[in-house]
Amino acid sequence: MTAFTLADLDALVAERAQAPADQSYTAKLLAGGPAKPAKKLGEEAVEAAIAAVQGDRGGLVSEAADVLYHLVVLLRAGGVGLDEVMAELERRTAQSGIAEKAARRQT
């Protein structure tokens, strides 16, 4: 069994976005413009944070999945490709956060 990746999730969201809004939750979210998935992302992020603070491992896993899904939907609604986000993450890993912040203070 191969691992399900963010790229797989992105492809699934793209596929489901093509369905009629009355048949696909993803399409329904996207029909609401960026505001609808943004609101859902915020709700799910708060729920994930609460689960983490409460030590609810299962809840955190479930809510983290919701966060990732709604983030991918929001990216699509905002016209931002997952590949752009991954490239930014890769750029940021070129040096440690501590070194990067130190370099900012010198300029």
Q: Catalogue all structural domains in the chain, each as residue range(s) with its CATH number.
A: 6-106 (1.10.287.1080)
pLDDT digits (tens, 9 = 90+) for 47-80: 999 999 999 999 999 999 999 999 999 999 999 9
Give Dmax over CA atoms of the chain in angstroms.
Answer: 54
Amino acid at 8: D
Q: Is the pLDDT of residue 92 over 90?
A: no
What are φ and ψ of residue 106, in 5° steps?
-80, -15
- Is 17 within 8 Å of 29 (Cβ atoms)? no
pLDDT at 107: 59
The DSSP element (H or E) to which 54 belongs, if any, is none
Q: What sign has the CA pseudo-torsion 4, 61, 40, 90?
A: negative
Q: Is the pLDDT of residue 86 over 80?
A: yes
pLDDT at 88: 93
